[in-house]
A = this chain, B = another copy of it.
Amino acid sequence: MAQTKATHITWHDHRVPADRRREVKGHYGVVVWFTGLSGSGKSTLANALDCMLHERGYHSYVLDGDNIRHGLNRDLGFSPEDRHENIRRIGEVAHLMADAGLITITAFISPYIEDRNMARDLNPGGRFVEVFCACPLDVCEKRDPKGLYKKARAGEIKEFTGIDAPYEIPPGAEVVVHTDTESVAESAANVIRHLEKAGMVPTAGTPL
């Protein structure tokens, strides 16, 4: 029990302060929220960013359909209420993870401004970075990685974002990436440049 002797732990209110988490991590906890049409490159870009941040020794994580839809949100369908609740829960989990000190990257269509702003409001002080994946519908539809546009055009899927459901373009996104003309590495580097400028991560050679 040698390691406990030096520690005076009282019965009440002994909590890890936020700046200690930052010290241990080497950067701020922050939410990087990708939004855009299906096929606009959100998930690919989120994972590429995760890799680039890990190469720097940072602590990041991706929340996307793969780990949310079959777990936390497996009780939710695609009704308007369920879509809203889907984004609400993701916003809350992203906030908890950022509070834990992680650079938390989310990759969901999240078509409504109101829902995204609810997630934003949980993370004041520049701790929410909205990244709009601006890719024209025809390019997304040509990519159609999951064959969903084809089904939506055939009427097999109803209320598909961009086809028969709206996508609300973010009026104040911190970063806009053009995934139709930029490479994945270029887009991810744009996000990292924003994190550096905003003082969320150290700039090369200069710790926070």
Contacts and interface: CB of A to CB of B under 8 A. Distances in A.
Interface of A: 1-4, 7, 9, 11-16, 20-21, 24-25, 44, 47-48, 50-52, 54-61, 63, 67, 71-72, 75, 85, 89, 92-93, 95-97, 99-102, 122, 183-186, 188-189, 192, 204
Contacts of A63: 96
Given A9-B188, A21-B54, A189-B3, A93 B72 contact: yes
A205 to B, nearest CB: 11
A59 B184 contact: no
A186 B1 contact: yes
A61 B4 contact: no
A188 to B, nearest CB: 7
Counting every copy of the chain, the complex holds 2
A59 B59 contact: yes
A79 to B, nearest CB: 15
Minimum-distance CB pairs A-B, first 7? A61-B100, A72-B92, A4-B185, A71-B92, A9-B48, A4-B189, A16-B54
Contact of A3 (B4, B13, B52, B59): B52
A26 to B, nearest CB: 10
A189 B1 CA distance: 6
Given A3-B56, A3-B204, A189-B1, A51 B97 contact: no
Given A14-B47, A61-B101, 17 more contacts: A1-B185, A1-B186, A3-B192, A3-B204, A4-B188, A9-B51, A9-B185, A11-B44, A13-B47, A16-B51, A16-B60, A24-B54, A61-B99, A71-B92, A71-B96, A93-B93, A97-B100
Nearest to A21: B54
Contacts of A13: 47
